């Protein structure tokens, strides 16, 4: 992967984190379940922290971490998540997260030495999301946020 492709991958990851933060905040705002609200808020916070790390990484390469367009979640996407069963939503989210892990592992494989820690955090945050989803699917919601909370303490 050449430098421009690598930087574009980091930019795409950064934008994905901005989207993820808005997505999880919107889920939190739309649920009446206090436990799920807290979970969505925690995941939004993880997306925020990861997005900040990606912004810093972009800036370390002389790139600007700015976007002209507001980050919004398509209403159809939100409706699909809020109208589906929790299990179906988690299954769909699992597919999205697995694809992100593959993309971010590819970035990690070509990351310059100075970038490795930040890109590892990016991968680990997706792995924490996968743990969340897998726990929710298995009915073990009490442990779903453990990996995310560990990252948030770093």
Q: What is the Cα–Cα distance from 126 to 106, expressed in whole angstroms?
A: 13
The helix (run of H) or strand (run of E) holding residue 27 is: helix 3-30
Per-residue pLDDT, 5: 92
pTM of the model: 0.94
> What pLDDT does 121 receive?
98
pLDDT at 1: 56
Report mean pLDDT in 10-residue bins for the chain, 154 residues.
86 96 96 96 98 97 89 88 93 96 96 97 98 98 97 95
| 97 token code pair | 């997260």
pLDDT of 95: 97
Q: Which domain holds residue 9?
A: 3-152
Q: Check which CATH number belongs to the domain holding 70 and give it.
A: 1.20.1260.10
Burial class of residue 136 (count of CB atoms within 10 Å of its CB; 0-12, 13-18, 19+): buried
Q: How many CB atoms lie within 10 A of CB 3?
A: 10
If one counts the domains in the chain, the total is 1
């Amino acid at each position: 992967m050449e430098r421009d492709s690598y930087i574009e991958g980091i930019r795409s990851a950064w934008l994905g984190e901005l989207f993820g933060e808005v997505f999880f905040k919107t889920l939190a705002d739309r649920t009446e379940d206090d436990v799920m609200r807290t979970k969505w808020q925690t995941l939004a916070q993880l997306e925020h922290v990861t997005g900040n790390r990606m912004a810093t990484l972009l800036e370390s390469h002389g790139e600007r971490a700015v976007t002209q367009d507001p980050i919004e979640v398509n209403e159809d996407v939100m409706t699909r998540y809020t109208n589906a069963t929790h299990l179906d939503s988690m299954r769909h989210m699992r597919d999205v997260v697995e694809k992100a892990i593959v993309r971010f592992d590819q970035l990690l494989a070509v990351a310059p030495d100075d970038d490795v820690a930040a890109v590892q955090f990016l991968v680990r945050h997706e792995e924490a999301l996968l743990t969340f989803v897998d726990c929710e699917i298995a009915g073990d919601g009490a442990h779903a946020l453990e990996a995310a909370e560990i990252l948030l303490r770093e």
